Amino acid sequence: MPHARALLRNAAAAAIATPPTPLIAGRVFAGRVWPHDTGALPAARVFTDSEQLAFPLSMTEVQRTVALRVEIIAVGLEGVIDDAVDDACEEVESRLSVALTVGGRSVRPVYQTTDIELDRDGERVTARAVLTYRVDLFTQSSAPGTLA
Amino acid sequence: MTLETDADRLAMLQAVGEQVTLAGASVWALWSSPYAETLGVSTRAPAVLVREIDAAGVSQSSQLVRAGITYRVAAVEPDGTGMVTLQLIRAS
């Protein structure tokens, strides 16, 4: 059975990708690590890179506070790249503003921060925005893929 | 002792380079566009090598036109021997 984090990533990627959005349709990845091609951008990558555990009720049920992050990559000319990455952010934010179904449970991502970085080392300006959401998942301590 | 003159450098560029328009003037340049990776994106890093005397007055706001594509100079990197590498970013 997949881990709760994997279920969360897949649910978030599906929510962003379905139905297709105007900008990042077909380019939403859960777990991609290889470089993007400039001809296939903007794109979004969903990942979870940290988690804090608590046992609020009993030792058999774990509260997992997961950092769900969506990385958006876009390229463009100077002067328009900021708008391009913000347009893609708008697509992601609107899709993750509603509850997700994770392991049969309704889970609401809490939007926390966006960090945007620009790089001018390539042929065009590259922009990366990382949207961070806090998600609380409750699982059985003996079954991290089973949501309580 | 001068090992290499501006005329030598021009001859080298005429032998292996091409003409581009730099800040409105036609100059000889050696074009390169190697693979680069930035923020997880596979891209190119275009640059030209020109004579320092041809790049006098060139700054980060200068434009270079090659094959109908306009670039902005992103960095001016003199090598100290009379040649300058201009790092470019597309402006059109």
Residues B51-80: pLDDT tens digits? 999 999 999 989 999 999 999 999 999 999
Other CB atoms within a 10 A radius of the CB of residue B70 amount to: 13
- Residue A65 near residue A54 (C-beta atoms within 8 A): yes
**Rounded to whole angstroms, how far apart are CA atoms B40 and A119?**
11
**A vs B: CB pairs below 8 A:** 59
User: Residue A135: which CATH number?
Assistant: 3.30.70.1700
Residues of B in Cβ contact (< 8 Å) with A78: 72, 89, 91
Alpha-carbon distances of A3 from A16, A125, A135, B7, rounded to whole Å: 20, 37, 14, 68
In a domain, B1, yes or no: no
Tell me the one-letter amino acid at A18.
Answer: T
In a domain, B77, yes or no: yes
CB contact under 8 A, A122 and B74: no
Domain span including residue B37: 6-90
Among candidates A37, A73, A77 on the partner chain, residue whose Cβ is nearest the Cβ of B39: A73
Confidence grade of residue B1 (pLDDT, cut at 50, 70, 90): low
User: Residue B13: which CATH number?
Assistant: 2.40.10
Tell me how many helices (H) and strands (E) chain B has. 1, 8
Domain span including residue A96: 4-147
Distance from CA of B61 to the nearest CA of A (A): 12
> What is the total count of domains within chain B?
1
Among candidates B33, B46, B74 on the partner chain, residue whose Cβ is nearest the Cβ of A120: B74
How confident is the model at residue B92, as a pLDDT? 84
How confident is the model at residue A28, as a pLDDT? 95
CB contact under 8 A, B33 and A123: yes
Q: Would an 8 Å CB–CB cutoff place A125 in contact with chain B?
A: yes
How confident is the model at residue A1, as a pLDDT? 83
> What is the total count of domains within chain A?
1
Other CB atoms within a 10 A radius of the CB of residue A127 amount to: 24
Distance from CA of B33 to the nearest CA of A (A): 9
pLDDT at A34 over 70: yes
CB contact under 8 A, B90 and A124: yes
pLDDT in tens, A57-106: 788 899 999 999 999 999 999 889 999 999 999 999 999 999 999 999 99
